[in-house]
Structure 1
Amino acid sequence: MYEVNNKISQTAERQIYLGRKGLISFIALMNMFIPLSTDMYLPALPYMNTYFGCSSAITNLTLSTFFIFYAMGILFWGPLSDKYGRKSILLTGSIIYMICSVACALSFNIYFLILARIFQGIGAGGITSVSIAVIKDSFSGKKRETILAVCQSISGLAPMLAPVVGAFMLKFSDWRGTFWALAVISAINLLLAILFQETLKNEDRYNGTLFGALGLLVVVAKNKSFILPAVIFSLSALPFMGYIAVSAYIYVDYFDLSAQAYSYYFAANALISIFGPFIYLKFLSNMDKRRFASLIFGLSILSGILVMTVGTLTPIFFWLSFVLMSLAGTIIRPFSTNVLFDQQKSDTGSASSLINTLFTVLGSIGMLIASMPWGNIVTGLGILITIFSVLPLLGWILFLNSKVPCVGLKDNL
C-alpha cells in the first residue's frame, strides 16, 4: 500500500502545472478523441451522401479508414513512447491531429476528406496510445483499476454529447462545422500537452535503436498471457463499432427519425454506458473474476438476440436491446485493461499499442461488416452482436482451462 501511495504522490509532484486532478482530467480528454472524432459527425452522414453525391459505403470510408490508420498509428507511436517518452509523442500526435482537423473542414471532395481522415487517425493514435501508458506509469494495483474506471466514465461523456452537439450544429452549419470544432478541441489538448510533464522514468526507457523499439511489439505479442485475453476482450469491438457505423442509418433511414431525434437516442445509449465502470467498482469488482467475464459476455449475447427480434420493431425497442451490450462493454473495460496490464510488467507503450490496435482493427472490420447490404440492417447488426459475443465467451472458457498462466486469475488454480 505504501508503494502504491508513494508512486501516486510522485506522479502528482511531477505534474507542477496540471496536478493530480488535472492529470486525470487530461487523460480523460485524450480518451475522448476517438468518440469525438467519429460520433460528432454521425448525424451528418446521410446529408454528406447528398452533399458529395456518393453512396453511404463511400462516405463510411471516412469512418473505417480513420480507424484503420488510427490502429497503424498506435502501433507506431506506442513503442516510440517507450524510447522517447510520452510527452514528445503526445505533442507530435496532437499537432498532426489539429492540422488534419482543419484539412477535413476545408475538404473539397469526399476523397480529400478520406485522405485527411487517414492522417487525422494517425495523429489520434499518438494521443490515445500515450493516454493509457500514462495510467500505467502513474498508478498501480486497485488504484489503477479505479483510475481506469473514472477516466473511462468521464470520457464516456464524449459519445453522449458529441452526436447531440453535432446534430445541433447542423441547424446553423453543415458537416464542416464538426471538424472546425475538433480543431478547437485539439488545440486545447495541445496546450495541456505542453503543460504535461513526463511520466516515464529514465530508467524505464528503452535504450536500444528505433527498430529495436518497434520490435518491442513482437516481444509483447509473444506473451501468451497477454495476447490471448487481449484478443478475446477485443472481439466485442466488432459489433460495437459496427453500431457506430450504421446507427445513423438505423434511426434516420430505417426508423425514419430526424437527425436530432437520432442524436438523443445515441446520447441516451452513451449516458447509460457511463455508469458501467462505476457498476463494476461498486457491485462487481469483488466477484470471482473468471465468472464475472463469462456473465458479461452472456449479457452481450442476450443483447444480440433481442436486437434481432424485438429491436426491429420500434426505435425504443432497438435502443433497449442494444444498450445491454453497450453497458456490458463499459462494465468489463476497467477489469480487462487492468488484467492485461498485470500480464505485462514492462514495455507499457507497446502493450498499450497492442490493446488499442486490436480493438481498433477488429472494430474497423465490424464497421465494414455492418455496412454490408443486409436485407434488414437491424437484423444484420443483431447477428453481428450475437456471433461476436458467443466467440469471446467460448474463447474465455478455453483460456481459463488452458495451461497459459494469468496473473490475478489463475494464481490459485
Structure 2
Amino acid sequence: MKSNSISRRSLLKGMGALGMLKGLESIFPSYAWTSMPNATIQTPEISGNVINLTIAETPFRVDNLNATAMTVNGTVPGPLIRLQEGQNVTLKVTNHLKEASSIHWHGILLPPGMDGVPGVSFAGIEPGTTFVYQFPVKQSGTYWYHSHSGGQEQSGVYAPMIIDPIEPDPIQYDREYVVMLSDWSFESAKQMIAKLKKQSDYFNYQQRTLGEFFMDLKQKGWSATFDNYLAWAQMRMDPTDLGDVTSHAYTYLMNGLSPATNWTGIFNPGERVRLRFIQVGVMTFQDVRIPGLKMTVVQADGQNVQPIEVDEFRIGPAETYDVIVEPTEEHAYTIFAETMDRSGYARGTLAPHPGMSAAVPQRRPRPLRTMDDMGMDMSGMQMNNMEANAEHKSMHKHGMDMKIENPKLPSVEHHIPGMHDMEQMSVQVNRSEIPGSTPVKHGPDDHGT
C-alpha cells in the first residue's frame, strides 16, 4: 500500500507539473519555448494570405505573480506573423476587449486606411467587431505589430512580424530567433502616467545621495558643485533621471519571459545564428551584449546595412536590429539587455542543450547625465555681465554688413543698421558630434518601385 501510495502521489505530482507546463505554454507563444522538446511546442509562426487575429484579456503570470494581460491570440507576445515580399495579405482582427482596440503594422508600407492608428487612418476596432486589413507586401525585413489604442501595447498587445525577401536573402545564417524585449508592469498605463504628471521622477529610485554630494564637493569644490546642482534644479530635472519608469515598476521581459524564467535558444557549435532583436518597450532603452560573443549587425529597422561587428549596441522603443553570432564553444552564453539607467535587465540564454545557463553579468554603475547630454552649451555662460554688455554695446554702435552666399541663390548683400564691424556671417549647420561618426550605409530603399 505504501509503495502504491507513493506511486500515486508521484503520478499526481507529475500530472500537476504537466498541467502547469501546459498552462504556461498557453500563455507564451511557441517561439518563446525554443528550449522545450519539439513535441511540446506548437507551430512557431502563422503565415498565409488570410490570417485571423483576436485581441482579448488573458490571465498572465510573471515571477509567480498573477495578472491579466491584453493578448493577441491568447499569448504575450502575440504570434509571429511570417509573410513573403510580393504577396497580398488579408488580416482579420477581432476585438474581444471591453474597449476599442487597433493593430498598427509598425514600419510597413501601407495604403492610408490600413495603417491602424485610431483617429488618423481609421476609427478603431469597437468591442465585438472585426476589422479587415488588406495590403500588398512591398518590403522585407524584421518588423512588429502592436495596438495603437491607450495603454494596450504595454499590457501585451504586441508581436513580431518577419517578411522574407522575394530575392535570395544576402544574409547567410543557419538558424534564427526572434528576441523581443518588452517592459511589463502590474500597474496600468493610466496609473503610471497620472503619477508621472504629478511628479516626473516618481519612479526614479536612483537619485543622487548625500554621500555623492560630499564626494562632488571633494572632487570639484564648492562653487562647481553648487552651480551644477542649481542648474539641474532650475531646469526641474535630475541627472539620474535616464528613464521615466524604472525597474521599480517594470519587469523586463525577453519573449514574454522574465530574467528568472530564462528564455533559451538552442544552437549547434559553429552555426551562424541570426538574432532578430525587437524592442517593444514603452519607454525603455537597453544596452545589449552577449559576453563571450561578438555580434555582427546586418539589419536595422528592416533595412539591410553594411555589416559591422560590435560588442554591444543600444536599442530603443520600436527599433529592430538583426545580428549574426557564431558560437563555437560547447557552452551557454547569456543574452544581456541592460536598461540604460542600469536599474534592471532582460536576460536569456543561447545554449547547445536545453536547461543550460551562463553567468549573468553584474549591472554596471548608474551613469549621470551632463549638460552636454542635454544639449546645453555651458561655454557661453562663462562671460560675465560686464563683458556681455560691452560686446552688445559694441555691436549696436558700429553695425554689421551681412553677405549671404548660397550657390542656389543669387548673391545678396544686406546691411543691418548698427552692425558694420562684421564683414560676413557664416551660418553653420550642426552635424553629429559623436566621435568617429560616419554616414550609415543602408541597403536599397526602393520598395514598391
TM over 0.5: no
Q: Which has the larger radius of gyration?
A: 2
The TM-score normalised by the length of structure 1 is 0.25
The TM-score normalised by the length of structure 2 is 0.23
